[in-house]
Amino acid sequence: MITQTIKKAGLAAVLAGTFLAGNTLFAQKELTVDMSETIAPIQPTMYGIFFEDINFAADGGLYAEMIKNRSFEFTIPMMGWSQPNSDRHSYNNESGYALPVKYFEGEGNLNFLRVQVKNAEGYELHNEGFRGMGIKEGDTYRFTFDAKQMEGAVSAVKAELLDEEGNTIAEASIPVSGSEWANYKAEIVPSKTVMKGSLKLTFEGTGELGLDMISLFPTDTWNGRENGLRKDLVQLLYDLDPGFLRFPGGCIVEGRTLARRYQWKKTVGPVDERPSLVNRWNTEFDHRLTPDYYQSFGLGFFEYFQLSEDLGAEPLPILSCGIACQFNTGELVPMDELGPYVQDALDLIEFANGSTDTPWGKVRADMGHPEPFNMKYIGVGNEQWGPEYIERYKVFNEAISEKYPEIIIVSGSGPFPDGDYFEYGMKELKEIGAEIIDEHYYRSPEWFRENATRYDSYDRNGPKIFAGEYAAQSVAIASPDNKNNWETALSEAAFMTGLERNAEVVQLTSYAPLMAHAEGWQWTPDMIWFNNLESYGTPNYYVQKLYSTNKGTDLISVTQNGEDLVGQDELYASATLDSEAKEVVLKVVNTSSDAQEVKLNFKGKSIKNKGKVIVLKEENLTQENSFDAQEAISPSTEEIKVKGDSASYEVAPYSLNIIRIPVK
């Protein structure tokens, strides 16, 4: 292709194989794509999803429940609820008053609400939702609650959905009766779309009524499940075609203290019996204090396995190794008390894969999934470090390997990609014979561009690598000013050519964190942003999507003058064969401000005379996607023509290019 830019450079430059782009005189790049032999298989797990309940990603996000604190289990039991016509320091004779009451001490659903209605015309009970409630006109919402009559004759509960001004946009009246707990439900259809709606409850009659598990779900959840997930958010995940789903997160696994660690057994079984827990991110950062951030565990381990199945992704659960988050207390369970933690791991494998004749297999079956989930991976610890981690990991490794030798165990190298913690962890884990080591890196865009060769020198016979958490930080780690801009996404794209080029070693990769509520976030950057009504993928999302949906099946080489393209003239490249689609797939990233002409020479197989190029580009490195411009940076597709065994293509400035050409 002779571009307009080349024409301007003059015939002599063309004949010399150079062209002028911007202010730079670049030689035309001749790249050799060798299809004669494959280097390594691209694992189906190569590109996956890391999910953590940070940034209101579960309650208030992926989990479609719209009521905050639906069973009054927060540390402050009435958090999220208000009684606008009542005064706690009054008898409230013209309205009424509600107080939380304990069923019993222990764990589970401990509290219910005793509502005393003295004047049905005056008493109201409101729930604010998660930064409001996103309500859509014409959609159906399922309102449910548990109730029992205690004294007097409260005979009905009236539920109203309100807009931001307090106007009623949907309502239903549900009769209640009897002194025993019973479940009640109604379906309501709003007449208006609002971003920050709320729920208002009023009552017919006077007296005392017990209320619990007050819930509001859209009926249009993912796969229509009643205890379901928000459809638009799952769709964004589904569109990634992920190879795995890692859950329930990173630091949330560990907890600030061991008592507040994530315990999977408390997240399965009947939803109304799962105990709530304060989220470990609720007051982690002074810049984003969120004391109302709790985990209801309506989205629990069963639902994570179910979601993995829906997405066609391998489930990859991560469990506590007996160390609380070392950025917080670093609390250790004594080695002689580690048994229950190890048993949790063994029982989880039984829950996921065991027959219905086993205790935990029966729990899974009772929840509606008698077939095993066929879990292949389990992670021990998140990003712990030091001798304390290694000695605990060894115990898990021995116990799991002995009882379930087919399970692949994922270990961790700590929170950083270099330094003392990393070097010690890698050395010890290699000596143990670890199968897969999880590495994390939150670094600058420059670091990502400079580290495209990171895995070139890794031992091909050593442990495999899981790049489990990574994201380019535009400002600094944990800064509230980090942006999901094009520079970060493009730098990740350049780095990912190095991940793919080293598929012999790197077998799983995932960006982190996954999701953030526009008004409930704690950490930036994040791959997907959402509010109560909408969601969108960032430029980083589209980079991940293009890699995942164009991964191919087998790694092949692409070189310039016999060398890998790892940043020479700011160009990066990797290549695969897709045996299913019968195509060669080339990824070329240009991190320079200039267009660059490449000539692709294909050898080893014959190719057809045209293919396609999926391009993700933007000349403004600070550009972001937003709710108002959700696809400001998004892929476009164009044609590429082939002559014989070669093709020429102009690689746009600041671009990721996926070149797919059918093989004969």
Closest listed residue to residue 5, CA positions, set 593, 661, 415, 397: 593
Query: How far is Cα 525 from Cα 522, in angstroms, rounded to an integer?
Result: 10
Give 538's Cβ-side CA count (13 Å radius). 30
Question: How many beta carbons lie within 10 A of that of residue 273, not counting itself?
Answer: 13
- Of the residues 383, 500, 597, 618, which is catalytic? 383
Active site (annotated) includes residue 383: yes
Dihedrals phi, psi of 114, to nearest 5 degrees: -95, 110
Q: How is residue 581 annotated by DSSP? A: T
Closest listed residue to residue 449, CA positions, set 624, 621, 584, 246: 621
What are the structure tokens assigned to 150, written together?
Answer: 């205690």
Query: How far is Cα 414 from Cα 623, in angstroms, rounded to an integer?
Result: 32
CA–CA distances in Å: residue 262 to residues 56, 256, 384: 16, 10, 15
Q: Say if residues 602 and 643 touch (Cβ distance below 8 Å).
A: no
Closest listed residue to residue 57, CA positions, set 309, 328, 281: 281
Query: How far is Cα 384 from Cα 415, in angstroms, rounded to an integer?
Result: 7
Omega into 525 within 30° of 0, i.e. cis? yes
Query: How far is Cα 440 from Cα 660, in angstroms, rounded to an integer?
Result: 31
CA–CA distances in Å: residue 476 to residues 383, 444, 537: 19, 7, 22
Residue with tokens 């014409």: 138
Give 628's Cβ-side CA count (13 Å radius). 1
What are the structure tokens assigned to 412, written together?
Answer: 């961790």
Instruction: Please report the DSSP string for 625-639 in residue order.
Output: --SSSTTSS--EEEE
Question: How many beta carbons lie within 10 A of that of residue 433, not counting itself?
Answer: 10
Question: How many beta carbons lie within 10 A of that of residue 619, not counting itself?
Answer: 11
Omega into 242 within 30° of 0, i.e. cis? no
In one-letter notation, the amino acid at residue 560 is Q
Closest listed residue to residue 608, CA positions, set 560, 654, 647: 647
Q: What does the chain come to in residues? A: 664
Q: Say if residues 237 and 49 touch (Cβ distance below 8 Å).
A: yes
Which residue numbers are catalytic?
Answer: 383
